[in-house]
Structure 1
Amino acid sequence: MPDTVVPSRRSLASRLDALPLTRRHLRILTGSGVGWALDAMDVGLISFIIAALAQQWALTPGQLGWIASVGFIGMAIGASVGGLLADRYGRRQVFAVTLLVYGIATGASALAAGVTGLLILRFIVGLGLGAELPVASTYVSEIVPARIRGRLIVVLEAFWAVGWTAAALIGFFVIPASEDGWRWAFAIGAIPALYAVVVRWGLPESPRWLAGRGRITRAQRIVETFERDAGIVLSPAINKEPDTRPVAVTTAARLATLWNQEFRLRTLSIWLVWFCVNFAYYGAFIWIPSILVAAGYDLVRSFGFTLIITLAQLPGYAVAAWLIEVWGRRTTLSVFLVGSAVSAVLFGTAGSTGMIIAAGMALSFFNLGAWGALYAVTPEIYPTSLRGTGAGWAAGVGRIASIFAPLLVPVMLDAGGAPLVFIVFSAFFVVAAVGAWGLVDRRGARLDDR
């Protein structure tokens, strides 16, 4: 197509938002998404591995709960620290380091000789994993065009379903195949360590972050590469002014700003939603294979059911990706959370194999669609200088819930069985749906239009 000449006095942010979707955007989306999928594969694998270790190592429910939860302790710390580091050192650098940390620790987990060693390694895995997810969503949201930003973040989150499906396939084919199947599963999880090199050298830094740090020339060069791909030619004058005025420039100032008058309600609401969604999601999906085994299904059949349930995540993401630019962020998020609440009750009270699979697929559909909307809205509610910190601390607070949920599931199972467990999860989804209405809806708006 012919080149289009546009005035260069527009800000970097305006130029990024005005771009059409290019192959370079898709390369960034795919590059970040593969890292996202590998994260999901690691988290998903542990749900299958603990079901196998329960039999092989004769572990108690309490020990299994700690194996599931210790990674989330690391994730809570990693998310909080990772967001701060991303605002200080850049999105791409932190993204690559997090992949390297958890990839190496996951591979080392294959050599664990006992529960203590496995717990230590799972904590280290959590540090990397917790930091990666909010940093990746922040990174992509700062580069893609505003009019389709929400949709593309949901597509990014959809890579989670790809990773979780890979974990289900490994759980179905690899883990039951031999006594060391769970070790081979961990070894496969070491792939992110290699992918970190691709991320470090193959993706650009966020131009918005660079501009906010005063690195205008480098930011200009990156934006110009996108414009050349789109056939856009600038007039000679170049705008050297930063796009945004930082609202906070130090770590302490960033943390304090989360609770000033402008952002207080947003922060409270997003922390509440993240906490409740994490509690219900990880409490349910980490334990589903083990709950099915306890219900009388053998290991292979339980893993097969979980694989079928997992496949429903992809259409959930697809519908959420469409609705988020039609209904907006808050409505889409709250509707999918209500759907998750209803599905959780149906799953917990299911009395037949067909009902278990149907309700489980509905839970997957609605819950993962809600996750897509949540990751889309989180980085949008804060300005660039605060975005990594805001997203990271919201995720960190959420991870606190994911620490306790797997530990509480055995207690709730003893007290009232699967019906009580999933009624509790349903209540958390309802609270999250209400909390979503305290968020601002930034559909189509520039990221720093506050």
Structure 2
Amino acid sequence: MMARTELKTVTTDIPARLDRLPWSRWHWKILIGLGTVWILDGLEVTIVGNVTTRLSESGSGIDITDAQASGTGAAMYVLGACLGALFFGYLTDRLGRKKLFMVTLILYLAATAGTGLATEAWMFFILRFLTGAGIGGEYAAINSAVDELIPASHRGRVDIIINGSFWLGAVGGSMLSIVALDTSIFPIDIGWRLTFALGLVLGLVILLVRRTVPESPRWLVIHGREEEAERLVSGIEGEVRAATDREFPEPSGSMKIRQRHSIGFGEIASTMFRTYPKRSVLGVSLFIGQAFLYNSITFGYATILSTFYDVPSGSTGYYYAVIAAGNFLGALLLSRLFDTWGRRQMIASTYLLSGALLLATAWMFNAGMLTAVTLTACWCVALFFASAGASSAYLTVSEVFPMETRALAIAFFYAIGTAAGGISGPLLFSKMVETGEPIDTAIAFGIGASLMVAAGIVAVFLGVAAEGKGLEAIARPLTQQDDEEDADESTADERTADERRG
């Protein structure tokens, strides 16, 4: 049996050394190795949304109904994402970022490949559950690793762009599904399977790149592997220095860490809800707000276009590609402001503005003022701002809680948002859209918009000014110790030794 790492109290300046580094090729490697999986997620989710009607057709090669594919299949994916986020998020904090971002990607790829080979409904359901579990775990492991490896001055924009890149994959998925479902190009039982195969190939490339991404040095120090962390950071500094030909300023400070093998779930829960209750309210508000907004628009968007504007089902993918492009551009172009203008200002602004724009869209839609093209344009404008806001939800819960709870915090709030937006949202909005009454669909828009506005108001009062700050300055690590604590601990140890001798 492998001996456990010896734990002690150490003084480290590793966080400050990582935060002072200028942007370099090394950071691009991290961005590509960890961030590009969001493109895969957008690709895969969009493809599934577009191929579900094909699966139920005669000759598709899988025995499944349309209701099973779009209803039960979607529910299994959401359930897997929620449970996977919590399970793998907890393991990420205990076992390390690298182990879990490799395991979750492998699970995701295996389940995606299996989906393309499914022939029965039960196989499809199980594989959708496992795919969701993998992607849920990815959100926790990847956001933790990115925030702990990227310098403080760039952390906001990098996180926003990475999470927003989901929509770049959605653009590709929309266009790919149009080609793959064209029976003049591929047989009816082959085209939809090839879409999953492409996701597998892209994922394998990402897996090869990800193998070179290191473990978080911050995590290593806390878990008794400070020598490994020191070698790793020294190597990073050498690589960045060679790439930029720049000398670095002195580290801004150091801290004392009392190393621990693990943090109990009770202590993690207490930290989130007793030590930081306002931040927890902020996290819940941001995740539920963006989840309902996106489901009020994207869930059943094809039904809205076909029901109210007679857009053929085979053409809705073009509209969705335009919406997805607007989402990605919003995250890309607004991301820099989260580091310069500020977190609280940008989070509140993007939530409030996108909610207000969607409310205006709902009013115009109900009044019969919009066409398929102008409705899509309104969606694009609203989601341009909402995309950056939604991405900032992940950024917020990743950086406002202590290092030892980071992955589980992301997982917890992601699970809440996904459950609310992915289960209750679709059930509610689908019923309202299916009535064919403009007022019901407008109300669905209004619900999502109102929750987004409410979350923006919460951000005004509870937002955290985290821009440019090291993670440890935003939320003190649970393992950090002050000199007074060292003295108390030393006195207690001496007292225990005296008692033993006596």
1:441 paired to 2:441: no
Paired with 1:123 and 1:283, the residues of 2 have a C-alpha distance of 23
CA deviations on 1:189-246 (whole Å, 9 max, x unpaired) are 22365246425521101111111112101111111122112327899xxx99765777
Name the SS for the 2:224 alignment partner.
coil
The corresponding residue for 2:480 is: none
CA displacement at 1:129 relative to structure 2: 0.6
Which one is further off, 115-124 or 342-351? 342-351
Cα distance in structure 2, aligned partners of 1:242 and 1:173: 57
**Which residue of structure 1 lines up, in the alignment, with residue 341 of structure 2?**
327
Q: 1:100 to 1:442 in 2, by over 3 A?
A: same
| Cα offsets for 1:399-438 (capped at 9, x unmatched) | 1112222222221224554322212221221222223242
8 A contact 1:320–1:373 mirrored in 2: no
Q: Which has the higher contact order (CA 8 A, sep 6+)?
A: 1
- The reply on whether 1:221 has 2:256 as its aligned counterpart is no
Match of 2:118, SS?
coil
**% same residue:** 25
User: Do structure 1's residue 275 and structure 2's residue 288 form an aligned pair?
Assistant: yes
1:4: which partner in 2?
none
Determine helix, strand or coil for the equivalent of 1:436: helix
Q: Residue 94 of structure 2 corresponds to which residue in structure 1?
A: 88
Contact 2:285 2:455 in 1 (8 A): yes
CA distance in 1, matches of 2:165, 2:396: 17
Name the aligned partner's letter for residue 366 of structure 1. Answer: F
Change (3 A) 1:321 1:245: farther
Contact preservation (8 Å) 1:208, 1:243: no
The AA in structure 2 aligned to 1:389 is L
- Supply the distance in 2 between the matched residues of 1:96 and 1:192 (Cα, whole angstroms): 15
Are 2:303 and 2:433, in contact at CA under 8 Å, matched by a contact in 1? no
The question of whether the paired residues in 2 share the 8 Å contact of 1:70 and 1:122 is answered with: yes
Identify the match of residue 407 of structure 2 among 384, 388, 412: 388
Q: Which residue of 2 aligns with 1:301?
A: 315
Give structure 2 stretches of 5+ with no counterpart.
1-10, 476-502
For 1:30 and 1:244, the matched residues in 2 are separated by 33
- Determine helix, strand or coil for the equivalent of 2:339: coil
Q: Take 2:145 and 2:54, find their aligned partners in 1: how far apart are those partners?
A: 37
Asked if 1:411 corresponds to 2:431, the answer is yes
Compared with structure 1, are the counterparts of its residues 212 and 199 closer, same or farther at alpha carbon in structure 2 (3 Å cutoff)?
farther
- Note closer, same or farther for the CA distance 1:240–1:263 as it changes in structure 2 (3 Å cut): closer
**What is the number of equivalent residue pairs in this alignment?**
438
Q: Distance in 2 between matches of 1:291 and 1:106?
A: 29
Q: Is 2:151 the counterpart of 1:128? A: no
Does the Cα contact within 8 Å between 1:174 and 1:185 map onto a contact in 2? Answer: yes
1:128 CA drift (Å): 0.4
Please, which of 397, 418, 425 is the counterpart of residue 448 of structure 2?
425
Structure 2 equivalent of residue 110 of structure 1? 116
Cα 1:212/1:227, change in 2 over 3 Å: same
Q: Closer, same or farther in 2 for the Cα pair 1:192/1:280, shift >3 Å?
A: same
The structure number with the bigger radius of gyration is 2
**Contact (CA 8 Å) 2:351, 2:456: kept in 1 or not?**
yes
1:202 matches 2:202? no
Residues 436 and 445 of structure 1: CA distance in aligned 2, closer, same or farther (over 3 Å): same
Instruction: Give the Cα separation in 2 of the matches to 1:129 and 1:318.
Output: 22
- Alpha carbons 2:283, 2:397 under 8 Å: kept: yes
**Would the aligned equivalents of 1:47 and 1:285 in 2 still touch at CA under 8 Å?**
no
Per-residue deviation, residues 259-311 of structure 1 (Å, max 9, x unmatched): 12x21111122022212212321453242234323442112321111112211
Counterpart of 2:29 (choices 17, 22, 27) is 27
Q: Work out whether residues 16 and 254 of structure 2, in 8 Å CA contact, stay in contact via their aligned partners in 1.
A: no
Please tell me whether the aligned partners of residues 216 and 241 of structure 1 are also in contact (alpha carbons under 8 angstroms): no
8 A Cα contact 2:224 2:259, kept in partner: no
Q: Aligned Cα RMSD in Å?
A: 2.7
Distance in 1 of aligned mates of 2:448 and 2:389? 14
Amino acid at match of 2:426: P
For 2:33, what is the secondary structure of its paired residue?
Answer: helix
Structure 1 residues 202 and 107, CA gap change in structure 2 (3 angstroms): same
Structure 1 range deviating more: 115-124 or 67-76: 115-124
Letter in 2 for 1:216: E
1:378 to 397, 400, 410: 397
Residue 145 (structure 2) pairs with residue 144 (structure 1): no
User: What corresponds to 2:301 in structure 1?
Assistant: 288
- In 2 relative to 1, CA 254–68 (structure 1 residues): closer, same or farther, beyond 3 Å? same
For structure 1, the residue ranges without an aligned partner over 5 or more in a row are 1-8
Q: What residue is the counterpart of 2:20 in the other structure?
A: 18
2:370 match: secondary structure: coil
Question: Map of 1:325-364 to 2, 5 A cutoff?
Answer: 325-348=339-362, 349=365, 351-364=370-383
Distance 1:433 1:88, change over 3 A: same
**Deviates further, 374-383 or 11-20:** 374-383
Kept after mapping to 2: 8 A contact 1:344/1:426: yes
Change (3 A) 1:173 1:234: closer
Letter in 1 for 2:391: G
Change (3 A) 1:167 1:84: same
Contact kept in structure 2, 1:76 and 1:399, CA below 8 Å: yes
The Cα shift of 1:252 comes to 3.2
1:73 Cα deviation after fit: 1.0
Please say if residues 67 and 122 of structure 1, whose CA atoms lie closer than 8 Å, have aligned partners that are also in contact.
yes
TM-aligned CA deviation for residue 444 of structure 1 = 0.9
